[in-house]
Amino acid sequence: MAEIILAGGCFWGVEEYFRRTDGITATVVGYVNSDIPNPTYEDLCYGKSKAAEGVIIEFDPEVISREQIVDLFYKIIDPYSYFRQGNDVGRQYRTGLYYRPGDEALKDFYEADKQKRQSQSTRKIWVEVAPLENFTEAEEYHQQYLVKNPGGYCHIPLPNKSEK
């Protein structure tokens, strides 16, 4: 198994979108690159942490590639929005692709992919590419939130697996 760590606005929809994607084996939502130890959801909501809502996605590279996941990621976010996705506004809703420190190949892939996309647009892409400094798992009620609360708000259309 392999992993990818990303932030695409509210983590509920991002997690559920990828959970419905063939080849995804596990997901965990949490707080990426906090400037305080062990942030909570309330810390993000009240601006006490600079963390982004993110998702660690485990996947089977024999079923889906990292490149395919990144393509899907860019399809479900608005890469031109600064600290905003859908109705959600604020630093915690920024978009990003993260790599483990020392994984220069992944950093280079993310940066080259972003540069290619940027060269095809006149608008600035606001997806951050950054090392993963820390990840704090979100509270249990956030894990698979849209499974537990199927009517919950989501800025991402959620297709069935067969629709992708």
- Summarised one tens digit per residue, pLDDT across range 64-123 is 999 999 999 999 999 999 999 999 999 999 999 999 999 999 999 999 999 999 999 999
Q: At what angle do helices 104-119 and 66-76 cross, to 10 degrees?
A: 40
pLDDT digits (tens, 9 = 90+) for 6-54: 999 999 999 999 999 999 999 999 999 999 999 999 999 999 999 999 9
Which residues are within 8 A (CB) of 30 and not within 5 positions of it... i.e. 6 or more apart?
Answer: 11, 54, 55, 56, 135, 136, 137, 138
CATH tag for 2-163 (out of 3.30.420.40, 3.30.1060.10, 3.30.230.10, 3.40.50.2000): 3.30.1060.10
* pLDDT band of 163, cuts 50, 70, 90: low
- From 10, 44, 138, 154, active-site residue: 10
pLDDT at 161 over 60: no
pLDDT at 160 over 80: no
pLDDT at 164 over 60: no
Q: How large is the average pLDDT for residues 127-154?
A: 94
**What is the structure's pLDDT at 105?**
96
DSSP 125: P
φ, ψ (nearest 5 deg) of residue 91: -55, -35
130 has which bridge partners? Answer: 98
- Cα of first residue to Cα of last residue in the chain, in angstroms, is 22
b/e burial code for range 107-136 (CB count within 10 A of at least 16 → b): bebbeebbeeeeeeeeeebbbbbbebeebb
CA distances from 12 to 19, 33, 101, 141 (A): 11, 18, 26, 10
30 has which bridge partners? Answer: 54, 137
Q: How far is it between the farthest Cα atoms of the chain?
A: 41
Instruction: Say whether 10 is catalytic.
Output: yes
